[in-house]
A = this chain, B = another copy of it.
Amino acid sequence: MSKDSKKKNRIVPEPALRRMPCYLAQLKVAQKEGLKYISSPRIANIMEIDPTQVTKDLSYTKIAGKTRVGYEVLPLIEELEDFLGFKTMDEAFLFGAGSLGTALMRDYGLRQFGLNITSAFDINPEIVGKDFDGVKVYHLDELKNMINPDIKIGILTVPVEVAQKTAEIMIDAGIKAIWNFTPVILRVPDDIVVQNTSLYAHLAVMFNRLHSKESKRKN
């Protein structure tokens, strides 16, 4: 194993990882503006964080900034995309082809970021057999015939009452990372990665912030 790939597979603190797509976004803007170099204070200023944070976060990658000029934009974009796993395609199964599930199946943006949903599973006879932008929906019972050691990611978009049970079925089928869009806290073995993304929890936070500001304005 090379030094670089070891570095890439190192566990990176979540706050740093979450800032990296922001750096990537800023770099792409800089690229469109025709900039060849960008300094850490400039990135830091846009994001309203400390420049030392930027250099610290980017030190997880194999790109180093140059004194005075900063980071070269194009190589840093390529390195970050590679580092974040957006350049290699990971295949995924999706569980629960309801409203959000089919929306994700149609979001080709996921493919651009390295995630390709190859098949979906559901139990609703009205949905099983359908095809959404090339992704076919199979009955969950067919999963056992479709186990593929290359498919380690499962997207969970089922109703809350079957979320835990479905997660267990996924793990039995060899899934190692669950992208959990349900608000359920999943109980899984230690070697399973769970990434929680509860859209509706974010919505609740936004409603509360908006409505409390609205009521302040009125008073």
Name A's B-contacting residues (CB within 8 A).
Answer: 1, 5-6, 8-12, 14, 17-18, 20-22, 24-26, 28-29, 32, 46-48, 84-86, 90, 98-100, 102-104, 106-110, 113-115, 152-153, 160-161, 163, 176-177, 179, 182-185, 187, 191, 193, 195, 197-216, 219
A203-B160 in contact (CB<8A): no
- A86-B204, A207-B84, A215-B9 known; A198 vs B21 contact (CB < 8 Å): yes
A152-B210 in contact (CB<8A): yes
- A200-B109, A214-B176 known; A153 vs B18 contact (CB < 8 Å): no
Q: Which residues of B contact A198 (CB under 8 A)?
A: 18, 21-22
Q: Which residues of B contact A161 (CB under 8 A)?
A: 28-29, 32
Distance in Å from the Cβ of A52 to the closest Cβ of chain B?
A: 17
Residue of B nearest to A23 (CB): B183
B106-A204 in contact (CB<8A): no
Residue of B nearest to A157 (CB): B109
- A100-B107, A102-B106, A160-B28 known; A213 vs B197 contact (CB < 8 Å): no
A11-B209 in contact (CB<8A): yes
- A17-B204, A210-B152 known; A46 vs B102 contact (CB < 8 Å): no
A106-B109 in contact (CB<8A): no
Residue of B nearest to A85 (CB): B207
How many Å lie between the Cα of A212 and that of B160 in the bound state? 29
How many Å lie between the Cα of A29 and that of B161 in the bound state? 5
A114-B203 in contact (CB<8A): yes
A204-B85 in contact (CB<8A): yes
Residue of B nearest to A206 (CB): B195
How many Å lie between the Cα of A65 and that of B10 in the bound state? 45
14 A-B contact pairs sorted by A residue (CB < 8 Å): A9-B211, A9-B214, A14-B205, A22-B185, A25-B182, A32-B161, A84-B208, A85-B211, A99-B106, A106-B106, A114-B203, A177-B206, A195-B203, A195-B209
How many Å lie between the Cα of A8 and that of B209 in the bound state? 11
